[in-house]
Structure 1
Amino acid sequence: MDFMTEYRRKLVSPEDAVKVVKSGDSVAYGHFAMAPTFLDPYLAQRKDELRMVKVYSVVYPGLAQVAACDPTREHFIYNSWHFSGGDRMLHDKDLCNYVPMLYHEGPEILRRYYETDVFMFKVAPIDSRGYFNFSTSNSDTYAYAKTAKKIIVEVCDKAPYCLGGNLEAIHISEVDMIVETDNKPLIQVPAAIPNDVDKMVASHVMKMIEDGSVIQLGIGGMPSAVGMMIAQSDLKDLGAHTEILVDAYVDMYEAGVMTGKRKAFDQGRMAYTFALGTQKLYDFLHMNRAAASYPVDYTNSPSVAAQHDKLISINNAIEIDLFGQVCSESSGIRQVTGTGGQFDFIFSSFKSRGGKGIICLSSLKEGEGEKKSRIVPTLTPGGIVTVPRTVTNHVVTEYGAVDLKGRSTWERAELLISIADPDMQDELIKEAEKMKIWVKTNKL
């Protein structure tokens, strides 16, 4: 079949592509590094022609112009399923709203509740069989593609061809329009540089990892520190079943500690739903069968992930209260990031035989004039519960690691205070007494 004839027929200019958007439409953007950063400014240029266009993104790299161009929000109403730094800046200016969800439920939410008029996303160049690869962002892409009325792909020759577990590509016959981009490199997201506290937290986490463990790392300095330590360790036959694939996984693979040989399935392959890192990661993924791209309702599904033994989930938090409620996405009422897959994997890890769901945080907030504890009596007013106390498992600070599962409220308070900053402990005990979650026999 002559795919290139069809390619040329569907190839349009960016100006013509965005003309398909009408007032009142719902427009979905591709996720993470596969966001339509080339088409977004062209759509923004149509501001005065359009009204009430709802745009949905996930971790848009940079500042989405459809939001930045319209301070009144009469033309574009911009929303995000998970905040990037740019989305956070827009939110602070009242130009972006968050859409709460459990990440593994994303495809089903789209099928049940959303009617997407236009879906635009970045893809790798067409292959010899007529497929456009989703590259680094599988995520909810296929679900959007199956439910959207119009599909526009923007082709980028810098996007790696990421081999799949499944549903990692779309055929040209399913695409309505093709736009060729300026082929700028994908966004580069270097690993956060771990500080001394991160390294201390990571050292406690390392004691909880065994040979044959299946590793899920979140984003941030602490998970990065754990990944670096794993790469330098003598652990054997680790595997990866994760939401995000970051540079640390390349380090673990190349160090020989991550072979995936003991995984229950996807043996020898790192299963992930999106990748975000530096060119090192993108080069590693290109046509590499050591990695497998899957939709998020596979990677993040508790019924799938928990089938692996020794599933170890390592994630950051903003604060945790003495009841064990974890806030990882907001500072009071200010949305900072999103739920993402944190709940999915903390929940899944406990279901895994020998698994551990680990919440990591420094004992003190950074950049504060006076000492402020991240372990608090109750969450900051307006703070969002990302992981409810019933699901919280292991919690780690630089002062140690505790396991809250099966513990009563007074036991939880005692355990959490034991890993708080020593200067904060007396005040936390006083607050625990006021809340009637402290008994006289409590000891630290």
Structure 2
Amino acid sequence: MTYDDNTRTDVGSQLVTAYVDGGINYEDRILTAMLTVAEPDYSTVVFSGTSYTYDGTERSIEATGVPVGVTVTYTNNTHVDAGVYTATASIRAPGGAEQTFTAVLIIAKAPITTIAFDDAAFIYDGTEKHIVISGALPAGAAVSYTGNIRTNTGNQTATAVVSGGINYEDLTLTAVLEILPAMRSISFLPLPDFTYGDAPYPLNVSSSSGDAIIWSSSDESVAVIEDGELVIVGAGTTVISATLAPNPLYSDHPEMSQAVVVAKASQTIILDAPATVNRDAGTVALDVSTSSGLAVVLAADDDFVARLVGTGQLEILRLGTVRITATQPGDANHEAAEPVTATIRVTDPASDIPVRVHAVVSPNGDGINDFLIIEGIRDYPDNRLYIVSKNGTEVAEIFGYDNGRTAFNGTGSAGSRLPTGTYFYILEVRDAGQWKYKKGYFILRY
């Protein structure tokens, strides 16, 4: 037996022919019949509405109970954003009629849980204050505020209205915005040490409130404040205080103080004096001053050579070397100056030996010529003096003559007083490594 058109898959009907071969004993025969493939049973299909909460992922409805072998096509069935959507499922068996099912896909707006709007308190500083939400607003959401600006002290209720946009629920939050009374502060940078005579020092002081600084000095004989500058008046110690004037916006009254030490000023002496002068120069002017302008005290170390007369005047008396020392002891505002010494040598350019022997000795106690004066001898301590009588007898020999402890006052080497009369001398001095000699005579009388 054979068949024609006896195979079908799709829904529908067709005529099937069966050919019967009767063989040697039976007649051949042809038979026909209708082959029908009916529509599947769609009563098992379920496509019902479903609800989700927005979470940023795709959502859809899936048809269940779909017969085997059919094709399902969805329309408007895949969404991410919140909303209400009518989804369609189109089901068709091959060759069959399309079956349409609908359902409602709901994606609800999500609540916003990632932000907060907390109470806040601020210290008054004269600027507007407000509260901002904390946390991160989700994409598409926006916030607006009411009652959220305050400058003066007090409190109020601030409102944050959050618009959730497409995917999030709207949200209203409230918080208390409070402005508290302020505390002021003073910034007073450390002061350096000062010295009398320093220039006015700008005071680097400020207040957090911008209020004017009120200054005071505990000892205005040391320092005062003028136009924001520290003005040095004298040496000593004072306390500089800075405070602020009362202000109803602030509850405190800050004050800062610093001790200021003003040291005495140093001073220097300028002494201008000639290095050498002639014995017959008379009176020589000394140019002396101090950097402070204070008076200088002069002293000469050898009044035998020269003496100070008047103000800054030096009277030249004899050959020799005199040292003039200038001092300034300081005062309440100045340290004592470092002493300055000038060395002045009195010379006689006309003499071939740098000393001069006086011609008279009268040791009678009247203070005049009480010993043999040898001018300039102290500059040549390596010296020898020989005194000889008129008859050629040596009566005195003196080494290291200095017009002081070692000097001839009428007493001979034997310790006895010499008679009046004329005596001869030989004076030897070592000058720059060479011995020089001077001979002469003098008269001894009482």
Same fold per superposition (TM over 0.5): no
Point out the structure with max Rg over C-alpha.
2
TM-score, normalisation: structure 2:
0.18
Which structure is richer in relative contact order (CA contacts within 8 A, separation 6 or more)? 1
Structure with higher strand content: 2
Structure with higher helix content: 1
